[in-house]
Every structure is written in C-alpha cells, then in structure tokens.
Chains A and B, each alone.
Chain A
Amino acid sequence: KQEVTQIPAALSVPEGENLVLNCSFTDSAIYNLQWFRQDPGKGLTSLLLIQSSQREQTSGRLNASLDKSSGRSTLYIAASQPGDSATYLCAKYNNNDMRFGAGTRLTVKP
C-alpha cells in the first residue's frame, strides 16, 4: 500500500510558469516532511524540510506547505527554469521511519 503519493507522476511546462507539485500521505502522524530533488543517475538533494509544527517553508523560488489535517504537502515553484528539470520527491518522517513518494518528473522546456 502506497503511503505517500505524489501527483502528477510527470509534468512538462514551458519556462517561466509557476507550478505546484502535490504530495499526500495516508497516515496523518507526521514529525516532518521533506522535499528532495533528484537529477538523473544522481543522489537526492534536500530542498526544504517542514516540521510538523510549521505550515510552510520557503527557499528562493521554492515554497513548501504542510497541512497535517488533510495529509497533504505542496511544493510551489515560481518562475520555472530549464535547470529545474528533475524528479522531485517528498518524504514523510515519523517514529524513526521515513517513507518516500514515487516522485514527480518535471521537465521545463526553454
């Protein structure tokens, strides 16, 4: 059973668009939620970490929100650039257990 779901699985947008990636989780018990970026054949790069007591975190053009009651997190990317093309994964952490979503593969076309 997939505990962490990411929608859409793939997304292609023209450069400059604002976009939202979604992450939902079935178990509302959560200590923190983390968003990562993964380039092809590479490891993960942490983008943002939201503690359960927080509602959002921002870093540059990225903004991540967390709604524990609905079991959702979103990653907002403003003014997308071709260099943003990658797979974005969310991971839910609780009780010494980290569960990842399958990721959203983002392509930003110049």
Chain B
Amino acid sequence: KAGVTQTPRYLIKTRGQQVTLSCSPISGHRSVSWYQQTPGQGLQFLFEYFSETQRNKGNFPGRFSGRQFSNSRSEMNVSTLELGDSALYLCASSWNPFAGGTDTQYFGPGTRLTVL
C-alpha cells in the first residue's frame, strides 16, 4: 500500500502571499489531519478532516484553512503568509482516529515551507 504523499515537498514564498499544500492519504483512510512543526513550538495540531468535514481544529488563526475532497485527498491553505509561518507541515491519515482514538496515524514526509 502506498504511504501518505504530500506535495510539494519544498516551497519558498514571500510575506503576504498565499500557499496551498496537498496531501493524499493512504488508500481507504478517511481521516486526514494537519500539523505544523517548528523548532520553537514543536509539533502542533492544525485541523482534522473526515468525510469532507472539518471535525476538529487547533488553536491557529483563520489564515489557516483546509478542505477535503470526496476521494479523501486534502488541501491546506495559508493566506497572507507571515515569516512565522515558516515550518514543516505534516499531514497524517488514518481510518478514523478521532472517533475513539484507537487508530494509528500515518504521517507523510511533510512540506517544508519557507517564507521570506
């Protein structure tokens, strides 16, 4: 089974621009979660989508948004980029982790975003 894939792997943007990151989950997985990882704040939960609906959301400003398509693929969008948005953005998929917490999450390799 193919793993979680994320595109692009690396991205350089300037302040004020917007960016869209893509995540394709493992086939059959219906839940996709997004995380931001920075040296200062560590790994922080952004949001989780299940069956095209945002089910959970972390403590991030509205500039961070996402969506999920009918094939479970998910996109994350960050508008009006700030220098502090530079981070590794990870997505993870599972069959259904937030309805019981029994499922292991499988992570993609991440997208390294640099904001100049």
Residues of B within 8 A of A100 (CB): 42-44
A69 at the interface (CB under 8 A from B): no
* Contacting pair B104 A34 (CB below 8 A): yes
CB distance from A42 to the nearest CB of B (A): 6
CB distance from A65 to the nearest CB of B (A): 18
**B109 touching A42 by the CB < 8 A rule?**
yes
Whether A44 and B90, one on each chain, are in contact in the complex, defined by CB atoms closer than 8 angstroms, is: yes
Give every chain B residue within 8 A of A96 (Cβ-Cβ): 48, 55-56, 98
What residues of B have a CB within 8 angstroms of the CB of A43 in the complex?
Answer: 4, 6, 90, 92, 107-110
Alpha-carbon gap, A44 to B45, bound state (A): 14
Within the complex, what minimum Cβ distance (angstroms) separates B19 from chain A?
19
Question: Does the CB pair B105–A32 fall under 8 Å?
Answer: no
Asked whether B70 is an interface residue with its Cβ less than 8 Å from the other chain, the reply is: no
B104 touches A46 (CB 8 A): yes
Q: Are A46 and B42 in contact (CB under 8 A)?
A: no
**Which among A44, A49, A101, A102 is the interface contact of B107 at CB below 8 angstroms?**
A44
A41 and B33 alpha carbons, distance in the complex (Å): 19
Q: Are A98 and B104 in contact (CB under 8 A)?
A: no
List chain B residues, Cβ under 8 A from A42: 109-110
Expressed in whole angstroms, the Cα–Cα distance for A101 and B23 within the complex equals: 24
The answer to whether A93 and B101 have CB atoms under 8 Å apart is yes
Query: Can you report 23 residue pairs joining A to B where beta carbons are below 8 Å apart?
Result: A31-B101, A32-B102, A34-B104, A41-B88, A41-B112, A42-B110, A43-B4, A43-B107, A43-B110, A44-B92, A44-B107, A46-B104, A46-B105, A46-B106, A49-B104, A51-B101, A51-B102, A97-B45, A99-B45, A100-B43, A100-B44, A101-B42, A102-B42
**Ordered nearest first, which 10 A-B pairs have the shortest CB separation?**
A43-B107, A100-B43, A44-B107, A31-B101, A102-B42, A46-B104, A43-B109, A96-B56, A93-B101, A32-B101
